[in-house]
Amino acid sequence: MNYTDEEILGLEEALETVGHAKHTRFALVEPDEWNQKEMGVFGQVLLKTYSKELEEQGLIVGSSHMLIPSLERKGRSIFTIQGPSIKTRKILDGLYEKYNCQMALEFGE
């Protein structure tokens, strides 16, 4: 059986209501071309821009820094989103494209 995104989100919301939805935390990593001097700290900018909207949807958001040794610039700002996995993933995908990110990380239960 194939379900539409809307049907899947409806099921996830029903599972969330009774406390059985799988929760995931995603970290969106600052893109390579992000200029902190001109645009500000990536995670903080996204936090200020989206926190109210995402928190109203029941998601938990945050901002931090991550060390990634394999990258040229090892320290990167990250924006985190935590909540029901399907809903959170859909939001992450939109932000990933909008900000031309090259890396996102998933931390499951």
User: 21 with 108: CB under 8 angstroms?
Assistant: no
Q: pLDDT by residue (tens digit) across 79-101?
A: 999 988 878 888 999 999 999 99
CATH number attached to the domain at 5-107? 3.30.70
Q: Can you give the pLDDT at residue 46?
A: 97
Closest among 76, 59, 57, 58 to 67, alpha carbons compared: 76
Closest among 97, 84, 101 to 27, alpha carbons compared: 101
Q: Can you give the pLDDT at residue 44?
A: 96
* Average pLDDT along the chain, 109 residues, taken 10 residues at a time: 72 65 86 91 96 93 87 83 87 95 84
Backbone angles phi, psi at 65, to 5 degrees: -125, 150
Q: Which contacts (CB < 8 Å, 24+ apart) does range 91-98 have?
A: 91/54, 91/59, 92/26, 92/28, 95/28, 95/46, 95/50, 96/28
